[in-house]
A and B are shown apart, each in its own frame.
Chain A
Amino acid sequence: MSEQPTRRDVLGHAVRGTVLIGLGGLAAYLGRRAGPETVWQIDCDRCVNSRAGAVGVDVCERCATECVLPLSAVRAVNDYAKCGRCYICPAYFDIKSAVNAQGLPSQKLCPRDAIDRKPIGWVDPDDPANNYYEYVIDERRCNGCGRCVLACKEPAGLGSIRLVVRYDLCLDCNRCSVAQACPDDAYLRKPLTSGEATA
């Protein structure tokens, strides 16, 4: 005949369990502090929108659609050192749209109109192509859909635009829904580097 646990036994087990859980959590916390801090990042060499050689593919918009935030923590970033400052930028214009009276594509590519196009210096009134143009991504409007990234990729463009995770927006979920949905395993936890943090 088994002995019934006393109230003291139950309380003792409960306390010991709580202490063990607390110690486990503390160990995990200290372990994380001891190693390099990791954050969610996008590997551009894996992401289909930016991966070299992936030509003729459809855009992947999961960074925009899968994030638990109302507006994803992912943003497109233009590397000005690589940007060609083109008169007709395939990441800004929908280059398949009808040509307007100015000889430019009539539609923009970004569904949220998050890219601003500004002439650098004065515009030659006789020949607007006789100029460079700056393309600035407004992060208040960008949702990281990746359309501009794909359009700018070599060989169509120069590959100056890429997707990054904004850590001040990211909730740092343990089971990130974007990472779960990413078909290219391009959404990864990586050690935080100063370059990525300021990208």
Chain B
Amino acid sequence: MPYQRVRLISGRGPAASQFADALRGLAVDAADRIYAVGDSAVKVFSPEGELVGLWQTERAGWAIAVAKDRTVFVGQTDQAQLFDPAGHLTQTWKDPQRLGLPTAVGLCGEHVLVADAKDRCIRCYDLDGRFRHSIGGAGRMRGFLIPNGHLDLTVDADGVLHVPNPGKHRVERYDLSGRLLGQFGRFDGTDPAGFSGCCNPTNIALLPSGQVVVTEKAPPRIKVYEADGRLLELFGQDDFDPRCKNMDVAADSRGRVYVVDTIRLHICVFAPAEAQDATSRPATREGQPR
């Protein structure tokens, strides 16, 4: 089903709902609230795009995830910080050897999975911050191939990790022990079913249906694949600054897709045609007519 941009949230600027320098990470909770991390702050938006929460992080945030109990995990250089739903700091996991550049966080039961772009692998911790093991760092390449400098991941309800390996033009699946379960993807510079350029896809999310959403750079765009790698949708080609790369992506319970424009510092909200409602039809920036 075709996707259409229905809303823009946040943007570059000095307002509380905006980001001044960087917007990097994105997550959506069970109630479809949107959590964005950038600069040195977490900003929470209602599904309608209104700012409903805001707090500072110790360092500039790279990635964010929200647990079922609404604990917020923020990946920052050399560490991860945990916040309660009100934004109060509850834990700081300092682990510069393993969390040099944490560009993604995924949660599954007792497992906290952090993608470390510095060492190009995934770190597995328990909920108390105890390191368990690494995933993807033991192969011949000593990690995922990320010339783009960004490693993303997402975890499904069955505990399967879905990881873009952009230098290989693939999406790979791992179990929580790090065993490769499968992959899809191939290079192709013209056929949109393939992944183009030096390194794509860069970011990943899962729809409630289990379909895989990925973002690409050069040109920035969004694709939806079946789990077996069949391309279903391609959209967003005209919705982003062409300089965008490593655009984080998240999906909500209604199948809406949220993607960061890393240059304009806003969140583009896309809805499948059948999920659009009366409140979201016009493509507006928070409170502004198109």
Contact = CB atoms under 8 A, between A and B. Distances in A.
B197 A103 contact: no
B218 interface: yes
A95 B147 contact: no
Given A154-B245, A156-B197, A105 B167 contact: no
A156 B245 CA distance: 9
B147 A84 contact: yes
B197 A99 contact: no
A9 interface: no
Nearest to B220: A155
B168 A95 contact: no
Contacts of A103: 186-187
Contacts of B196: 95
A129 B245 contact: no
A156 B198 contact: yes
B189 A157 contact: no
A56 B242 contact: yes
Interface stretch (A59-67, A86-94, A140-148, A180-188): A86-94
A147 to B, nearest CB: 15
Contacts of A86: 145, 147, 167, 198-199
Contact of B187 (A84, A99, A131, A156): A99
Given A90-B197, A99-B187, A157-B198, A129 B147 contact: no
B141 A84 contact: no
Interface string A99-120: 1000111000000000000000
Interface string B182-202: 000011111100101111000
B189 A87 contact: no
Category for how many chain A residues contact B = 20 to 34
B168 A129 contact: yes
B218 A155 contact: yes
A3 interface: no
A28 B178 CA distance: 71
A96 B196 CA distance: 9
A155 B147 CA distance: 11
Contact of B145 (A87, A105, A154): A87
Interface in B202-254: 217-218, 242-245
B290 interface: no
Contacts of B245: 154-155
A93 B189 CA distance: 10
A119 to B, nearest CB: 12
The 9 closest A-B pairs by CB, nearest first: A84-B147, A156-B218, A95-B189, A155-B245, A86-B198, A129-B168, A55-B242, A96-B189, A155-B217
18 contacts: A55-B218, A84-B167, A84-B199, A87-B167, A89-B198, A90-B198, A95-B196, A98-B190, A99-B194, A103-B186, A105-B189, A124-B140, A129-B167, A130-B140, A131-B141, A155-B245, A156-B197, A157-B198
Interface of B: 139-141, 145, 147, 167-170, 186-191, 194, 196-199, 217-218, 242-245
